[in-house]
Amino acid sequence: MENNLFEIKNLYHSYDGKNNVLNNINLKIEKNKIISLFGPSGSGKSTLLYIIGNLLTQSSGKVIYNFENIQKNMGFVFQNFNLINELTIFENCKIAQNIRGYEDINEILELSKNVQISELLNKYPNELSTGQLQRASILRSIVGNTKLILCDEPTGALDSKNKENIMNIFSSLKGKKTIFIVSHDDIVKSYSDKIYYIFDGSIKEA
């Protein structure tokens, strides 16, 4: 278990109590790697991501986390960014950091250089391009020393140059964080340490 950040055991999920969207998922996710999950539309990828992220409770089975303070140690990156429009990028990140129990302006400033938005911290979301918005939402997901970054189609809204840019940023974070990406995008595969496929609620390793 020491090398694994979390483990999924005998996990089932049904939304209607009849049909299993997830059907006995068993998975061990290593620390500090990029892991991606592919599968047809409706195969249960987002459902699994939300269960891992504690945003949805499974019907049965377990997710066993090898870290404390589960909610504070997870960050989310969504296709549509989910930034608060009334707040600057800096304020969006500060709130996330505070919720995770940290108060450290330098961390935000330093990490903003890594994700190439240090010049944009005082802008509002509606002043940024889609690539910049995605980098801002990555910054929000990594401040406060998070261990696990859960991403739902993080490259979906981007052109190919920005896709490469985002995946390079994820690559630069690996070694320090585990990045778990749900995707349809082939570009994500070439950056992944491990690729899983989900089909009819069951998982296969590539």
Given 3, 9, 10, 15, the residue binding ligand ATP (CB under 6 A): 15
Chain centre distance of CA 175 = 15
195 touches 205 (CB < 8 A): yes
- Under a CB-based contact definition with an 8 Å cutoff, are residues 192 and 15 in contact? no
Q: State the nearest-atom distance from the C-beta of 157 to ligand ATP, in Å.
A: 14
Residues 37-66: x/- map of binding to ligand ATP (CB under 6 A)?
Answer: --x-xxxxxxx-------------------
21 interacts with ligand ATP by CB under 6 A: yes
Handedness of CA 96, 100, 103, 106 (dihedral sign): negative
Q: Which is nearer to ligand ATP, 43 or 134 (CB)?
A: 43
By rule CB under 6 A, what count of residues binds ligand ATP?
10
Residues 23-43, buried b or exposed e (16+ Cβ, 10 A)?
bebebebebebbbbbbbeeeb
Pairing of strands 148-152, 74-78: parallel
Closest CB to ligand ATP among residues 29, 115: 29
When the beta carbons of 43 and 137 are compared against ligand ATP, the nearer one is: 43
Nearer to ligand ATP, 29 or 117 (CB): 29
Q: How many CB atoms lie within 10 A of CB 14?
A: 16
Q: 144 or 201: whose CB is closer to ligand ATP?
A: 201
Calculate the CA 174 to chain-centre distance: 12
Shortest Cβ 54–ligand ATP spacing (Å) = 16
Q: Which residues bind ligand ATP (CB under 6 A)?
A: 15, 21, 39, 41-47
